[in-house]
């Protein structure tokens, strides 16, 4: 009988990673958003969410460059995580940014 050279796994089974651009089914059931993260910057804490091109359905104005973000363009939505009025009030004041504008934003705390 031929011998198998593959190592046997004795540990717990791992879930396969989802295909690129797809969300894991368990994460979807739990309500986890893979495009969301929190950042700490020179200007405080920020919630940052990536918006895919297929989800961008309106025109927005980027506060970094003042140019339009047209429908169908991937971009970021940001809002303060350390607002004194709470996350709900900060969420109402969220802004849509180009990815490059967000990463190169001003260091003096102004948009």
Say how many Å lie between the first and final Cα of the chain, rounded. Answer: 70
What is the value of pTM for the model shown? 0.63
Residue-wise pLDDT tens digits, 47-102: 889 999 998 999 999 999 999 999 999 999 998 888 777 767 777 788 899 999 99
Can you tell me whether residue 60 is helix, strand or coil? strand
Tokens of residue 77, six digits: 């939505």
């Amino acid at each position: 009988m031929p011998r198998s050279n593959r190592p046997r796994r004795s540990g717990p089974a791992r879930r396969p990673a989802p295909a690129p651009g797809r969300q894991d089914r368990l994460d979807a059931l739990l309500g986890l958003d893979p495009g969301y993260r929190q950042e700490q910057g020179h200007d405080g804490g920020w919630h940052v969410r990536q918006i895919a091109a297929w989800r961008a359905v309106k025109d927005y104005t980027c506060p970094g460059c003042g140019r339009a973000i047209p429908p169908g363009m991937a971009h970021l939505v940001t809002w303060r995580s350390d607002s004194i009025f709470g996350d709900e009030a900060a969420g109402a004041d969220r802004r849509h940014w180009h990815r490059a504008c967000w990463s190169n934003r001003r260091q003096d705390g102004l948009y």
